[in-house]
């Protein structure tokens, strides 16, 4: 039998989601945090059904190989494995919630009413709430052959079976307005806090909606649709207009999953399937409650149910500095969110917006906060007469509408907005400020591993470099000049980047060159090693190069949070490669690449995972860390992550998450990194 060379990306992704759910079962974690891990698991699974399940089903039906050359027969097997994994995970999800977390909530005098009869005191309170608040948002629709109804993507609904006094049966689609009202409603009685689902509040008051009829049944459903936007590779019109049109169509995409409560009568199922055009969807029997990602907003505030607070650490020297540009004039500065305060990033943009000597600001935006102070600073800068150029990526999945909103607002304020070409996403995270000093232009800039987003910076671990390094900044300007032309990279417009690693130009070839150098060191008997930290690893050219390095004796330590298609520890192929996953209170998001280089270590940071999409379909920026103090700080942080034996697991050859053996002191990387950066 031929040896497997790669894990399947979708099964690997589901394996990561299994790791997330393990945290929900982890008794060492505070109660509310365990519930939040369940909500993250639920959200991830929804995204899998929206984004990946359509691909899996399409490939095994059309009988073609995918981009990784997997045949249709193999795809059928993968689809079955994926569905088996999902079913097993959902079963475990229910067991963790009902057998562990709900009883634990009761120990805090918090009673989550989960498929239970409302106590009298709760029934009275929710009855009043229903009549005064909920009823206004309900929109019952009769489902029959004359009335086509199109449920919105991933929204919650009831199917209600009614029997009129005349004997006529009716099937009603009734919305659960969880996008308009809180999913949970609390009632305090004596020392107990009761928490009721909005779903159950409606169930318990259906007689106030449907009068003079018999309610024969009420069943919760949810329909998940394909979330991909249908954009042509060569689109010559206004991309913002096309994105706006496509967003209106997203809720009308192909149904990929029909999730329903058990017990729906067969005749009702047949009518619903036919009327809602669900024949091609994966029909899945679930529980009474869907969209349990809403557990993230569960109204629980009892002491001891959340993580101890880790206040963000101020950047050393920043408070005393006259400005950030003066602070970084002579040496680079780096911050590590969320351990360190994001205020320095906000200050960088705010100072640029009001500094009369600043003439130009250029920035790439991929995902921004819903109330972005960074974007407001850019708007202020434009109104202050500065030239502001913003590359806005309208194709950032599920953030298209927010990015479109901000793009229009900036454009109206005088900001020059550039959109990427349709075939490429711009995923780079860079910014330049040009300041006139003594009749010359001085540059300063930011290069980051994560988005310029003050909201996600509170729970994504990222690295943001502040620099005045002319070598890096000159090449960053070349990136902006290229993006402004709105061209796809080709033979006639290639740029010879010497310092930055730019996808579509030199990123893949440079990483191959760096790996080859370690291979040569190993072959000449010198110590050779590579440390790589990223979110996802799929691209096979780079995986094969890592296999080659392993076979040459290069020691390779990897920290891969989610998808990993490389199989570690296989004799004759990858015996010198280890892969860790770290799941903890913060989402590991930084990309770090460290090459031993015969003891003269080279460190790179950047926006790029090694996925097909990042390597072949995006503009990414990775950058060298030149400042020795910054380089040492990065290596200290990564060293702590490699020593984690509390929250880290090792990925084995069967795609299992294997706990790291605890030898000596227990090391929890995120806690130790916080201590390091806070000076404790």
Q: Which residues are catalytic?
A: 427
Residue 445 pairs with which residues in a beta bridge?
432, 467
CA dihedral 664, 561, 15, 557 (to 10 degrees): -60
Asked if 592 contacts 463 with a C-beta cutoff of 8 angstroms, the reply is yes
As a whole number of angstroms, the longest Cα–Cα distance in the chain is: 90
Residue 361 pairs with which residues in a beta bridge?
388, 433
Residue 591 pairs with which residues in a beta bridge?
606
391, 98, 400: which is closest to 240 by C-alpha?
400
| Rounded CA separation 364/358 (Å) | 18
User: What number of residues does the chain have?
Assistant: 680
639: enclosing H helix or E strand = helix 628-642
First to last CA, the chain: 54
Alpha-carbon radius of gyration of the chain? 27
Task: State yes or no: cis peptide before 338, omega within 30 of 0.
Answer: yes
Tell me 521's DSSP state. Answer: H
197, 185, 398: which is closest to 291 by C-alpha?
197
Strands 555-560 and 529-534: parallel
Give CB contacts under 8 A, 24+ apart, made by 229-238: 229/395, 229/400, 231/395, 231/422, 232/422, 233/422, 233/423, 234/422, 234/423, 235/422
* Burial class of residue 172 in the structure, from the number of CB atoms within 10 Å of its CB (0-12 exposed, 13-18 middle, 19+ buried): buried
Residue 663 CA, chain-centre distance (Å), reads: 33
Quote the tokens at residue 449.
């591993």
Strands 110-113 and 192-197: parallel
In the block, residue with structure tokens 């540009």: 325
DSSP 171-196: EEEEE--TTTS-SEEEEEETTEEEEE
Residue 178 CA, chain-centre distance (Å), reads: 22
């Amino acid at each position: 039998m031929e040896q497997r060379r790669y894990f399947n990306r979708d099964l690997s992704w589901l394996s990561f989601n299994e790791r997330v759910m393990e945290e929900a079962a982890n008794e060492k974690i505070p109660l509310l945090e365990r519930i939040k891990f369940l909500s993250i698991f639920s959200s991830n699974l929804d995204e899998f059904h929206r984004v990946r399940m359509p691909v899996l089903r399409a490939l095994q039906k059309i009988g073609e190989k995918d981009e990784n050359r997997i045949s249709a027969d193999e795809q059928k097997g993968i689809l079955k494995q994926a569905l088996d994994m999902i079913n097993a995970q959902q079963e475990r999800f229910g067991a963790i919630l009902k057998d562990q977390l709900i009883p634990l909530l009761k120990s805090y005098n918090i009673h989550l009413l989960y498929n239970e009869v409302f106590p009298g005191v709760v029934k009275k309170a929710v009855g009043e709430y229903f009549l005064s608040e909920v009823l206004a948002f309900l929109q019952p629709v009769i489902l029959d052959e004359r009335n086509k109804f199109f449920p919105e993507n991933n929204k919650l609904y009831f199917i209600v079976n009614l029997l009129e006094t005349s004997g006529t049966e009716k099937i009603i689609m009734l919305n659960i307005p969880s996008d308009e009202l809180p999913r949970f409603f609390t009632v305090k009685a004596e020392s107990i806090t009761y928490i009721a689902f909005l779903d159950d509040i409606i169930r318990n008051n259906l007689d106030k909606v449907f009068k003079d009829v018999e309610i024969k049944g009420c069943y919760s459903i949810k329909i998940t649709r394909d979330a991909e936007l249908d954009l042509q590779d060569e689109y010559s019109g206004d991309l913002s207009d096309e994105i706006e049109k496509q967003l209106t169509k997203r809720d009308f995409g192909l149904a990929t999953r029909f999730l329903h409560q058990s017990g729906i009568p067969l005749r009702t199922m047949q009518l619903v399937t036919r009327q809602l055009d669900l024949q091609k969807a994966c029909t899945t029997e679930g529980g009474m409650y869907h969209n349990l990602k809403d557990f993230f907003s569960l109204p629980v505030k009892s002491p001891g149910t959340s993580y101890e607070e880790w206040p963000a650490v101020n950047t050393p020297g920043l408070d005393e500095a006259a400005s950030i540009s003066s602070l970084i004039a002579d040496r680079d500065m780096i911050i590590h969110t969320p351990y360190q305060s994001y205020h320095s990033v906000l200050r960088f943009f705010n100072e640029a917006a009001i500094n009369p000597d600043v003439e130009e600001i250029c920035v790439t935006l991929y995902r921004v906060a819903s109330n972005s102070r960074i974007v407001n600073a850019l708007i202020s800068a434009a109104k202050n007469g500065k030239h502001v150029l913003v590359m806005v990526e309208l194709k950032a999945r599920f953030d298209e509408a927010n990015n479109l909103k901000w793009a229009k607002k900036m454009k109206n304020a005088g900001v020059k907005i550039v959109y990427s070409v349709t075939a490429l996403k711009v995923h780079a995270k860079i910014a330049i400020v040009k300041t006139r000093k003594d009749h010359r232009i001085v540059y300063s800039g930011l290069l980051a591993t994560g988005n310029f987003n003050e909201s996600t910076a509170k729970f994504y671990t990222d690295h943001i470099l502040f620099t005045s390094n002319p070598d890096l900044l000159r090449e960053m300007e070349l990136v902006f000049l290229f993006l402004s032309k709105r061209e796809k990279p080709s033979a006639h417009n290639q740029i010879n980047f010497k310092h930055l690693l730019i996808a579509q130009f030199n990123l893949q070839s440079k990483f191959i060159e760096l790996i080859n150098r370690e291979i040569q060191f190993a072959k000449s008997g010198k110590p050779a090693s590579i440390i790589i930290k990223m979110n996802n690893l799929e691209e096979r050219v780079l995986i094969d190069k890592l296999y080659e390095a392993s076979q040459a004796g290069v020691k390779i330590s990897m920290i891969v949070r989610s998808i990993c298609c490389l199989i570690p520890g296989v004799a004759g192929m990858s015996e010198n490669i280890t892969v860790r996953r770290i799941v903890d209170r913060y989402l590991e998001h930084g990309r770090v690449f460290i090459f031993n280089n015969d003891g003269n270590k080279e460190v790179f940071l950047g926006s790029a995972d090694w996925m097909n999409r990042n390597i072949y379909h995006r503009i990414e920026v990775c950058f060298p860390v030149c400042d020795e103090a910054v380089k040492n700080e990065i290596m200290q942080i990564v060293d702590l992550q490699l020593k984690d034996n509390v929250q880290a697991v090792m990925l084995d050859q069967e795609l299992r998450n294997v706990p790291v053996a605890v030898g000596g002191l227990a090391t929890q990387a995120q806690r130790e990194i916080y201590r390091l950066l806070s000076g404790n």
